[in-house]
Amino acid sequence: MASLEEAFAVARQARDNAYAPYSGFRVGAAVKPLGRDELYAGCNVENASYGATICAERSAVVHMVSMRGKSRIEYVVVVTDADPPSVPCAVCLQVLAEFCAPETMIHLADTQRIRKSIALKELLPQPFVLV
């Protein structure tokens, strides 16, 4: 079964592949689908038209969906070199809310190790939902 340590390694490797020529802020992410022994990686890919930039967390979700269709996410790992480690942006949190339960853990890491784990509902207590 894919472990949290493996997910950290996958996210760290994805961070190394980030395309961040404008900000220099490289981010890697990994998502693990619920009940599956799989990991999907993503990295940030910047664009001169900054609104066209995609964050690592959304990149990982898009990777998962493109490979296996809509799936629930068991956990997310985000790797940056920030101190303290950065949380996902609001847009990424909203996208994660589409695929995660409120209790889904978001593991925040620097390039050495996971530093903090926090539930999605603590980062985005009131996501936008269609009822």
- The kind and range of the H/E element at 7 are helix 4-16
Instruction: Kindly list the catalytic residues.
Output: 57
CA distance 58 to 35: 20
- The kind and range of the H/E element at 67 are helix 56-68
Question: Which tokens in the block code for residue 127?
Answer: 């996501």
DSSP assignment of 70-123, as one string?
S--EEEEEEE-S-SSPPPPPHHHHHHHHHHEEEEEEEEEE-SSSEEEEEEHHHH
